[in-house]
Amino acid sequence: MFKKQKMSTISISVFSADLKLIGFENRRELHLSCGLVNIARGNCNVIMRPDTNNINGEILISSERPVMNANLSVPPILFDQVHSALKNNVDRPLQLILLLDKYLQIDNHGVLTITDSIKAKIEDISWILPIR
C-alpha cells in the first residue's frame, strides 16, 4: 500500500557551479546544478542573483521531466558567502534547503507525484556550507 505524505521543503546538494558575469555591467549570477536529497529522482537547476536587500524566489517543477528550475534573488552579502564557500575545496557538497509556499505529494519511496507542472514561491532558504 502506498502512503503519500506532504512536504513543503526541498533539500538539494550542489554538484557543480558556474559564476556568470553578464554584459558590460558584469551582472553576477551563480548557476548551480544540483541533485535532490529528499526526493527520490531528479535534479534542480538554480540561478542565484544578488539583489539589494531582497530575498525572493520561485521554482518551476515540470510534470514532463524530472528537472526543477529555481530562481533566487538574495542580498549581495549572502551571494558572496555562497560564492566563497563554493571556492573552498572540501569533500562534502554545499546543501540548500528551499521552503515552498505549496505542499508536494511524495510517496513512501520518496517519489514526487504530480500531474500538472507546479510553480511555487520560495518562502525561505537555508544553506549548509561545509568548512572542512
Sorted by where each begins, the domain ranges of the chain are: 5-128
Return the higher-pLDDT residue of 18 and 3.
18
C-alpha cell at 66: 524530472
C-alpha cell at 119: 510553480
Per-residue pLDDT band for 5 (boundaries 50, 70, 90) equals confident
Q: For 28-52, what is each residue's pLDDT tens digit?
A: 999 999 999 999 888 999 999 999 7
- What pairing do the DSSP bridges indicate for beta strands 43-50 and 118-128? unpaired
Query: pTM of the prediction?
Result: 0.89
- What pairing do the DSSP bridges indicate for beta strands 56-61 and 43-50? unpaired
Q: Give the distance from CA 125 to its chain's centroid.
A: 9
Q: For 9-30, what is each residue's pLDDT tens digit?
A: 999 999 999 999 999 988 999 9
Closest CA to 72 of 86, 60, 52, 58: 58
